[in-house]
Structure 1
């Protein structure tokens, strides 16, 4: 290693850059000489080492400016020497790399330590468990309260001595008053009704004591029924059913969403 002298004759150690340049020239000359002795061209070394030709040439000529960072240069020298039959690792170890830190590209960024503390995760788990328990408890309480109210209502109606069928009929009458019997004109012998659905509704039609229809009719459908004595129409959605008697103007059976019942008697000609 060459030492530099200042004007005051004090010896100064060369910088790491100067040491690397000087050492690279020495190693490059040895590699170039050995390659030529073995009769190999740089292009043949490219095939053996998979190193670009310009880098091999820069090593032989000691051109540090055309080479990557020193730590990679040391690896290139080792591969070059191995291809020529030398102990590459031992040969390249004489090339100084200093205390250089290589910054490798990465997309990972460390998170703050306090974000990864187990106590925070523990508290988060506790909070989630408490919220889940509260929601489940509220849901169960609401279902229990609803079931209790239904049971009390059934018990109170049972105590009154009514059968389930009578209770259902009573509820239907409480929801929507049953219309009185509608008498058609005095000059007809039979009665005819026409039903048009404003919205899908359940309907039961009884003609002369016989059920002619029971089921759900879709919105927009229209049906007619006749009877010689009496027609009875029941529905669970009085506001969604338009009913006409003997082709008169159609009217709603009642309020939307409410149950309704209409009985129409036929009147014989006098």
Structure 2
């Protein structure tokens, strides 16, 4: 009789897949709510998190079939939550990443759902995630440093231009090199505007003639836009909006309750 009661209890216990689906449904609903409250689209979240919109949507809709292994899914949830201003590590820790139910040896303890979750296994998972993120960040930083160094070090080009022209082909190559250098210099001319909302306000942002955002941002929102030529910002409550141009000290856009519009061009002081 005891064996039959234990068998009935095991059969009534939800599987690890069912637990993941139920927990992910609750987490996805919370992330979806916070994202909408901040006025962010899936495309904007993809730019912030470097995660494809398809995976972000799968997390919000609890679609496990579209997501990778549980340990990687937990990492994606952590990045998603961090980008929304939540505590990603704490938020994602409730998503189960352990193995399926296994046969227990005498003396082993379970967590109440007949599933083994040794502490050292969790430590290993966290270490793998940390190493993966750190390695990717190091590679990106190295690539960025190499590109910045090549653009800021003109010595090889000056040496090539200093050599006397020998043929018409050499002259053509030198002119092309000068043209590419001039184009690269112009491309680096950008203007960046950061907005911090002390109070909620309707905002419209136009970058290089294209509307980048139009809608109401809640109090406490922080947003940044970059343009090659010029940026135009219009606010319905100018007194509740702080504007920072090219990472300078933020300034109040205008008077409280007033509508104001400013246009900032590249390489100009504000």
Structure with greater helix percent: 2
Query: Under a length normalisation based on structure 1, what TM-score does the superposition of the two structures give?
Result: 0.34
* Bigger relative contact order (CA 8 A; separation at least 6): 1
Q: Which has the larger radius of gyration?
A: 1
